[in-house]
């Protein structure tokens, strides 16, 4: 019996030591394993996403090359994108496989592959110009200066992906964050009208708050954090000015500046009055908007393609009251230097950046073209309304996308804090100012 | 001679794997932490610069905050709070459940259900925590409403003052199953004769638990203690999924800061990421060595 007892204790003790060894080695091997792996062998890319191959419907020569394209689009947006890819295949005979990515997957996975001087994707569509510029400066993507005609695009869309006179990406999609979306039938049922002035906006929020069943007048989206930064930027532009947004991007002012502070005080005032919901997953919030738990939701023009919107004809939007500007951004096409099919990849880049590829996307809806040769009649009514609105205001870049990096993450994170603890405004602004100053300094 | 070489030959394949996947990456990480980087390119020797930068960051140790002032205290203090709260709670609940369910008919079924928290991937656990603490759909708030405390209902992970504790308490649910199973194994190893002798000598239930069960469970306690502390020190996945270290960095931990330095900075900073990894390793190593020495001395 005694011998048996000692044996068990020894077994447990030994098991503990084995476990410790395993855990320690696991921790140590973390970063090192990754870094070491890059020099030993290219990392194996694992994707759980569904891949869709576009094949030719006509009868061009048997495709010898199949390009792999990465983008963040899935669902309806992917369906539309596949239409453009299919047209490219029909025209060139080059097959294309689209692999949808998550934000983290693309933002993290691609530089990881590039560090190993490899790339699964031949062509990538990405919405982060700062990230693209950095990849260009590090020599991981092909310069496209000679592949596109910059005069065919809004200058800012080219400038954002230009560094030291070299253009690193072709503008593809333009998107805008025009204002607040609402359910028309809900507004009609409660006798509500879209506000035009700030005081009308405040009246609307108060009316919405009093409607039984409403959890909060304004839905707050959460994910990694961009929905909160979108609505905050609308405040910066609407309650401040488009120049204030530009100055923040350029680092001419920072978050402790009285002008910026005044904007945030307006925002905090609404937060304290309970007009904004607690942040929750951004697509689930569209469901709740449609279920009439919220009255309005600030979102980009891709709202018209969201499956949670049961009837797009019942979806309306109104601009941020009295605003003189709106954020518009884009998606750019890049070609990794490590592609095995550079010539075919360049052809696809030119097709997507050209009027033909973009017109297909525009006609499918939820897409604003960057190429000026795309005809106006190609737009759906909902998208045309957004385009028409954008013609009446100054278009400015997205603040956190333009600066990127640690500032972007901190901006998202601090806004999450502000949403639940508006009384911490001073702390939030100081933290943002500190990171913002460092980021714009590094950028310049 | 052959007898001496044979065991080494058997060890050889394992040693090669360890060399490639453990020793080399470990040394590479430490070396990386002493280099300066521009993106993924090393630009020279940096000495202790990366360590100084990391340790002077408010996201690692926030000198302007305290428990009284509220979060964020910094990643390192957050890791320590994890250890201070999560370890005793998980171990106490694990022991309690193991003892209570020891002689219960069908106890293994209840144990299996409790152990489910350990079976699910931690990423799924993180997502579950988000749902559990949701203001409108979460079970925690449903329970609060059921007992008349509906005024307390809120999305617990969305507020800086409750997010860290919400994650820790949620993880107790996930980790208690492990402690319970280790204690259950330990309980099975205690000879029944000891209990019988104690009863004959007139010992009460509490005395038996205090003087027989607890001392006999020391090896199991050591295992639980070591495993739980190490798990808390390297916690990442639950935090990443449930809060991403927010709001306002109120829940950030060392492993997450390491990840952010490597993947979320433009340009990436492998030097500081490796410095955090090395610091994390030193902390876990120091604790593990101490615990192993204590265990060996007791034996």
Instruction: Band the pLDDT of A220: cuts 50, 70, 90.
Output: very high
Please tell me the total count of domains within chain B: 1
| pLDDT for residue A215 is more than 60 | yes
Q: How far is A50 from chain B (nearest CA, A)?
A: 21
The candidate with the shortest Cα–Cα distance to A25, out of B256, B10, B18, B239, is B18
| pLDDT for residue A34 is more than 70 | no
* For range B40-66, the mean pLDDT: 87
Contact A31 B277 (CB under 8 A): yes
| pLDDT for residue A384 is more than 50 | yes
- The A residues from 99 to 138 touching B (CB cutoff 8 Å) are 107-108, 111-112, 114-115, 130-131, 134, 138
Q: Are A380 and A422 part of one and the same domain?
A: no
| pLDDT for residue A61 is more than 70 | no
Contact B281 A34 (CB under 8 A): no
Asked whether residue B91 is assigned to any structural domain, the reply reads yes
Sign of the C-alpha dihedral, residues A337, A339, A340, A346? Answer: negative
Asked whether residue A26 is assigned to any structural domain, the reply reads no
Comparing A195-204, B58-67, B153-162, B268-277, the range with the smallest average pLDDT is B58-67
Q: Are A104 and A127 part of one and the same domain?
A: yes
Q: Are A293 and A422 part of one and the same domain?
A: yes
Q: Are A109 and A250 part of one and the same domain?
A: no
Comparing A177-191, B169-183, B253-267, the range with the smallest average pLDDT is B253-267
* pTM score over 0.80: no
Q: How far is A280 from chain B (nearest CA, A)?
A: 9
Q: Are A66 and A164 part of one and the same domain?
A: yes
Residues from chain B contacting residue A28 (CB–CB below 8 Å): 22, 25-26, 29, 277, 281
Token duo for residue A377: 């009649």
Contact A16 B295 (CB under 8 A): yes
pLDDT at A62: 54
CB nearest to A35's CB, from B32, B189, B295:
B32
| pLDDT for residue A63 is more than 70 | no
Q: How far apart are CA A428 and CA A434, in angstroms?
A: 10
Contact B264 A215 (CB under 8 A): no
A251 in Cβ contact with A444 (< 8 Å): yes
Comparing A22-31, A135-144, A213-222, A403-412, the range with the smallest average pLDDT is A22-31
* For range B90-112, the mean pLDDT: 87
Cα separation values, A105 from A111, A225, B142, Å: 10, 16, 35
Q: How far is B127 from chain A (nearest CA, A)?
A: 11
Q: How far apart are CA A142 and CA B130, in angstroms?
A: 41
pLDDT at B1: 52
The boundaries of the domain holding residue B99 are 33-298
Contact A20 B226 (CB under 8 A): yes
Helix (H), strand (E) at residue B44: strand B41-45
- Burial classification of residue A3, based on how many CB atoms lie within 10 Å of its CB (0-12 exposed, 13-18 middle, 19 or more buried): exposed
* For range A378-399, the mean pLDDT: 85
| pLDDT for residue B250 is more than 80 | yes
Q: Are A79 and A121 part of one and the same domain?
A: yes
pLDDT at B7: 83
Residues from chain A contacting residue B244 (CB–CB below 8 Å): 224-225, 413
Please tell me the total count of domains within chain A: 2
| pLDDT for residue A46 is more than 60 | no
Asked whether residue A438 is assigned to any structural domain, the reply reads yes
**CATH number assigned to the domain comprising residue B142:** 1.10.3720.10
SS3 category, A72: coil
Q: How far is A173 from chain B (nearest CA, A)?
A: 23
Q: How far apart are CA B29 and CA B21, in angstroms?
A: 12
CB nearest to A420's CB, from B28, B159, B223:
B159
Most confident of A98-107, B20-29, B123-132: B20-29
Q: How far is B246 from chain A (nearest CA, A)?
A: 6
Contact B248 A107 (CB under 8 A): no
Q: How far is A91 from chain B (nearest CA, A)?
A: 38
| pLDDT for residue B189 is more than 80 | yes
| pLDDT for residue B162 is more than 60 | yes
Nearest CA in chain B to A2: B191
A109-124 pLDDT tens trace: 888 888 888 999 999 9
* For range A432-441, the mean pLDDT: 89
Asked whether residue A396 is assigned to any structural domain, the reply reads no
* For range A128-156, the mean pLDDT: 91
* For range A58-62, the mean pLDDT: 54
A197-206 pLDDT tens trace: 999 999 999 9
User: Is B249 at the interface with chain A, CB within 8 A?
Assistant: yes
* For range A169-198, the mean pLDDT: 93
Report phi then psi at B196, rounded to 5. Answer: -60, -45
Q: How far is B8 from chain A (nearest CA, A)?
A: 20
Residues from chain B contacting residue A224 (CB–CB below 8 Å): 244
Neighbours of A369 (CB within 10 A): 24
Q: Are A63 and A211 part of one and the same domain?
A: no
Omega into B72 within 30° of 0, i.e. cis?
A: yes
**A141: DSSP letter:** B
Comparing A23-37, A143-157, B91-105, B126-140, the range with the smallest average pLDDT is A23-37
Q: Are A418 and A290 part of one and the same domain?
A: yes
CB nearest to A23's CB, from B22, B40, B230:
B230
Strand partners, A368: A174
Percent of chain B with pLDDT strictly greater than 70 = 98
Asked whether residue B46 is assigned to any structural domain, the reply reads yes
User: Is A233 at the interface with chain B, CB within 8 A?
Assistant: no
User: Is B212 at the interface with chain A, CB within 8 A?
Assistant: no
Nearest CA in chain A to B184: A12
Token duo for residue B16: 């090669």
The candidate with the shortest Cα–Cα distance to A320, out of A417, A197, A157, is A197
pLDDT at A291: 93
- The B residues from 72 to 111 touching A (CB cutoff 8 Å) are none
Neighbours of B121 (CB within 10 A): 10
- The B residues from 130 to 149 touching A (CB cutoff 8 Å) are 134-136
Mutate to test the interface with B, among A27, A108, A279 (most CBs of B within 10 A): A27
Average model confidence (pLDDT) for chain B? 88
CB nearest to A421's CB, from B160, B281, B285:
B160
**CATH number assigned to the domain comprising residue A124:** 3.40.190.10
Contact A278 B154 (CB under 8 A): yes
Instruction: Band the pLDDT of B3: cuts 50, 70, 90.
Output: low
User: Is B70 at the interface with chain A, CB within 8 A?
Assistant: no
* For range A16-22, the mean pLDDT: 43
Cα separation values, A429 from A222, A268, A417, Å: 20, 12, 11
* For range B41-64, the mean pLDDT: 88
SS3 category, A182: strand
- Sorted by sequence, the CB contacts under 8 Å of residue B113 that are 6+ apart come out as none
Q: How far is B142 from chain A (nearest CA, A)?
A: 17
The candidate with the shortest Cα–Cα distance to B263, out of A351, A108, A317, A53, is A108
CB nearest to B266's CB, from A5, A29, A131:
A131
The candidate with the shortest Cα–Cα distance to A233, out of A329, A130, A331, A327, is A327
Q: Are A251 and A358 part of one and the same domain?
A: no
Contact A138 B28 (CB under 8 A): no
Instruction: Band the pLDDT of A214: cuts 50, 70, 90.
Output: very high
The boundaries of the domain holding residue A110 are 52-176+329-391
Contact B39 A138 (CB under 8 A): yes
Token duo for residue A403: 């600066």
pLDDT at B33: 94
Q: Are A246 and A185 part of one and the same domain?
A: yes
SS3 category, A349: helix
**In which residue are the tokens 């075919």 written?**
A344
Length of chain A: 444
Contact A413 B21 (CB under 8 A): no
Contact B39 A29 (CB under 8 A): no
Neighbours of A168 (CB within 10 A): 23
A332-370 pLDDT tens trace: 999 999 999 999 999 999 999 999 999 999 988 888 899
Average model confidence (pLDDT) for chain A? 84
Instruction: Band the pLDDT of A304: cuts 50, 70, 90.
Output: confident
Strand partners, A68: A97
Q: How far apart are CA B184 and CA A142, in angstroms?
A: 61
Q: Are A239 and A226 part of one and the same domain?
A: yes
Asked whether residue B28 is assigned to any structural domain, the reply reads no
pLDDT at A354: 94
A405 in Cβ contact with A129 (< 8 Å): no
- CA torsion A357-A360-A362-A364 (nearest 10°) is -140
CB nearest to A416's CB, from B21, B135, B248:
B248
Q: Are A139 and A118 part of one and the same domain?
A: yes
Q: How far is B97 from chain A (nearest CA, A)?
A: 19
pLDDT at B299: 60
**B158: DSSP letter:** T
Residues from chain B contacting residue A37 (CB–CB below 8 Å): 25
């Amino acid at each position: 019996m005694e011998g048996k007892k000692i044996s068990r204790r020894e077994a447990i003790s030994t098991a503990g030591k084995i476990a410790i060894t395993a855990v320690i080695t696991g921790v140590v091997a973390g970063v090192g394993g990754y870094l070491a792996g890059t020099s030993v062998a290219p990392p194996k890319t694992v994707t759980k996403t569904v891949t869709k191959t576009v094949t030719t419907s006509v009868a061009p020569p048997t495709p010898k090359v199949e390009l792999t394209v990465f983008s963040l689009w899935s669902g309806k947006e992917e369906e539309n994108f596949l239409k453009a890819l299919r047209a490219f295949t029909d025209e060139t005979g080059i097959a294309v496989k689209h692999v949808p990515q998550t934000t983290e997957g693309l933002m993290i996975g691609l530089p990881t592959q590039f560090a190993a001087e490899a790339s699964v994707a031949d062509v990538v569509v990405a919405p982060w110009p700062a990230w693209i510029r950095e990849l260009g400066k590090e020599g991981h993507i092909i310069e496209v200066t000679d592949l596109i005609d910059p005069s065919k695009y809004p200058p800012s869309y080219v400038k954002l992906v230009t560094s030291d006179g070299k253009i690193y990406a072709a503008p593809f999609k333009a998107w805008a964050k025009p204002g607040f979306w609402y359910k028309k039938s809900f507004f009609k049922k409660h006798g509500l009208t879209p506000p035009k002035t700030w005081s009308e906006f405040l009246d609307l929020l108060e009316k919405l708050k009093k409607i039984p069943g409403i959890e909060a007048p304004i839905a707050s989206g959460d994910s990694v954090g961009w929905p909160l930064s979108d609505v905050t930027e609308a405040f910066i532009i609407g309650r401040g000015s488009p120049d204030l947004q530009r100055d923040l991007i350029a680092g001419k002012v920072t978050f402790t500046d009285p002008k910026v502070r005044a904007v945030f005080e307006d925002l905090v005032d609404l937060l304290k009055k309970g007009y904004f919901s607690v942040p929750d997953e951004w697509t689930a919030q569209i469901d709740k908007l449609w279920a009439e738990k919220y009255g309005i939701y600030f979102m980009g023009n891709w709202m018209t393609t969201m499956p949670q919107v049961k009837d797009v004809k019942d979806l309306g939007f109104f601009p941020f009251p009295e605003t003189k500007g709106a954020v518009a951004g884009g998606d750019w096409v890049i070609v990794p230097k490590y592609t095995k099919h550079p010539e075919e990849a360049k052809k696809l880049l030119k097709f997507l950046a050209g009027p033909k590829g973009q017109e297909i996307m525009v006609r499918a809806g939820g897409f604003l073209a960057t190429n000026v040769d795309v005809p106006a009649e190609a737009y759906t009514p909902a998208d045309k309304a957004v385009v028409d609105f954008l013609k009446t205001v100054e278009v400015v870049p997205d603040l956190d996308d333009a600066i990127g990096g640690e500032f972007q993450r901190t901006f998202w994170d601090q806004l999450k804090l502000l949403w639940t603890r508006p009384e911490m405004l001073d702390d939030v602004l100081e933290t943002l100012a500190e990171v913002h100053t460092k980021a714009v300094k590094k950028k310049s | 001679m052959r007898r001496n070489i044979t065991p080494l030959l058997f060890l050889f394949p394992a040693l090669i794997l360890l060399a490639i996947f453990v020793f080399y990456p470990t040394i590479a990480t430490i070396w990386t932490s002493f280099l300066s980087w521009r993106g993924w390119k090393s630009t020279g020797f940096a000495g202790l610069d990366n360590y100084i930068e990391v340790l002077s960051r408010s996201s690692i140790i926030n000198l302007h905050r305290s428990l009284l002032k509220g979060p964020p205290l910094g990643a390192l203090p957050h890791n320590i709070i994890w250890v201070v709260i999560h370890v005793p709670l998980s171990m106490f609940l694990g022991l309690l459940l193991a003892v209570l369910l020891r002689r219960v008919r069908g106890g293994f079924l209840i144990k299996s259900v409790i152990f489910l928290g350990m079976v699910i991937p931690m990423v799924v656990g993180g997502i579950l925590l988000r749902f559990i603490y949701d203001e409108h759909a979460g079970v925690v708030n449903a329970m609060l409403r059921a007992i008349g405390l509906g005024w307390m209902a809120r999305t617990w992970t969305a507020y800086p003052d409750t997010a860290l504790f919400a994650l820790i308490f949620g993880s107790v649910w996930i980790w208690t199953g492990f402690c319970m199973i280790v204690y259950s194994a330990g309980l099975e190893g205690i000879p029944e004769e000891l209990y019988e002798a104690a009863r004959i000598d007139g010992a009460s239930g509490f005395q038996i638990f205090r003087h027989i069960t607890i001392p006999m469970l020391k090896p199991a306690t050591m295992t639980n203690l070591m495993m739980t502390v190490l798990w808390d020190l390297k916690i990442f996945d639950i935090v990443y999924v449930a809060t991403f270290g927010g709001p306002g960095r109120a829940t950030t931990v060392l492993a997450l800061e390491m990840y952010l330095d490597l993947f979320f900075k433009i340009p990436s900073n492998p030097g500081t990421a490796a410095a955090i990894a090395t610091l994390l390793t030193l902390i876990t190593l120091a604790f593990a060595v101490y615990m192993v020495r204590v265990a060996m001395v007791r034996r």
